[in-house]
Amino acid sequence: MREKMHAFPSNGNLPDLIVIGAGVIGSAIAYELSLRGRRTLNLDALPAAGYGSTSCSSAIVRFSYSTPTGVSMAWEALHYWQHWGDYLQHEDGPLAELITCGMAVLDTGSGLASRVRPLFEQLGIPHEQWDRPTLQRKMPLLDTMLMGPPTPIDSDEFWAEPTQPLVGALWMPDAGYVNDPQLAARNLQRAAQTHGAEFQFNTRVVEVQRDGDRVTGVTLADGSSIAAPIVINVAGPDSGRVNDLAGLGGTMAISTRPMRQEVHHLPSPLGSDGQPLNHLIADDDTGIYVKPEAGGMLAIGSMEPACDELEWIESPDDYAPRVSAEGWERQTLRLARRIPDLAIPNRPLGIVGIYDVADDWIPIYDRTDLDGFYVAIGSSGNQFKNAPFAAHAMAELIGAVENGQDHDHDPVRVVGQYTGAEIDLGFFSRNREINRNSSFTVCG
């Protein structure tokens, strides 16, 4: 049963709200707002829902965040994916599916696993602590020695023979991944449309209109205007430009900027049990995460170790769209250290995505200094899993603020309908200090 939903003021025959962006979060916000009876209009510069960063997401559903709020939000969001059809309230066409395969966070004794385990215990998240023999038995493909900390592949340290064993692994049995992230966005689009939401694609916003301190609508590239008393920036890697259009550049303590990232694909070898690797792995000891895919394939992504230079870009419209030989070599060799039987193909294969990265890799779900203008930005490549609950939280935040609540001084709180977790949305404030407890990584 849903918690009480805030009402919104009417805008006559015009849209009540404009959502800039139709990725998984933008589409989810449209759905949550349409459930509240609001007329929403999503504007996206791309041809379809989920066509941009969402389509390149590894779509991993895990709970290994390094803050209590991050863990709680991800745990609540899992239940939306587990009940996806019920949540969408429609059976129109194929639905994205959660593949529950479990995830092992390799335990170095001082890394991510040791930070996450106390949070799991505190919040009651199901988990198991595997010792090294258990890890070897469960995942026979892995070399269970300590390889880290991560180093560049051209350094002598990279090839040093390991002498110390891993502690083991922290196992999350309920973790998994969504099999088709773009389909998930399209599911949300169709569900929103059944409640009257509208979507307009190949449409670029070039101006955010305002009257004094209040947003009044947007201007499009074709010169037309659309009036609305509420505008929500969910533009992903383009969010910084949209904030500038609203005159908000430099007004937030936390900033975002676009970053190019590669995920590589290659076949898994077979273990002594005759099976390919079929579980998720977070390996901050080598600086990578690994995701199983159909047909015995693996996807390898970076956990952004300190030794790697991040690839910031000036514009999400201008970046190298194909995986690089350098990135392929770095990531596959790191995986080969962990999986000695790995055969590395000669030709790089993978996808390139653009992340909208916040200073501390924690998203900004907030109002702004321009009344009626809201942001769901800085998803940093790790918020796909949270999209449905984040959208619910944004809808509640907007409703509360539009009805007079001073969110900056009295932060809105939302309660998860599945887990009962209470989330203080002030945690995601645009004016927070950089959260040093963040893991500063994506991991899908």
How far is 291 from 444, CA to CA, in rounded Å? 9
Q: In the 8-state DSSP scheme, what is residue 386? A: G
Q: What is the mean pLDDT of each run of 10 residues along the chain (444 residues)?
A: 44 84 98 97 97 95 94 97 94 91 96 94 96 97 96 94 96 98 98 97 98 98 97 97 97 96 97 93 97 96 94 92 96 97 96 95 97 97 96 98 98 97 97 82 60
Whole-number pLDDT of residue 436 = 82
Side by side, the strands of the sheet bearing 176-178 are 60-61, 176-178, 98-100
SS3 content of the chain, % helix, strand, coil (to 5): 25, 25, 50
pLDDT for position 437: 75
C-beta separation of 363 from 377 below 8 A: yes
How high is the pLDDT of residue 92? Answer: 74
pLDDT at residue 246 in the model:
98
- The DSSP letter of residue 119 is H
CB 372 within 8 A of CB 212: no
Nearest of 49, 55, 364 to residue 232 by alpha carbon: 364
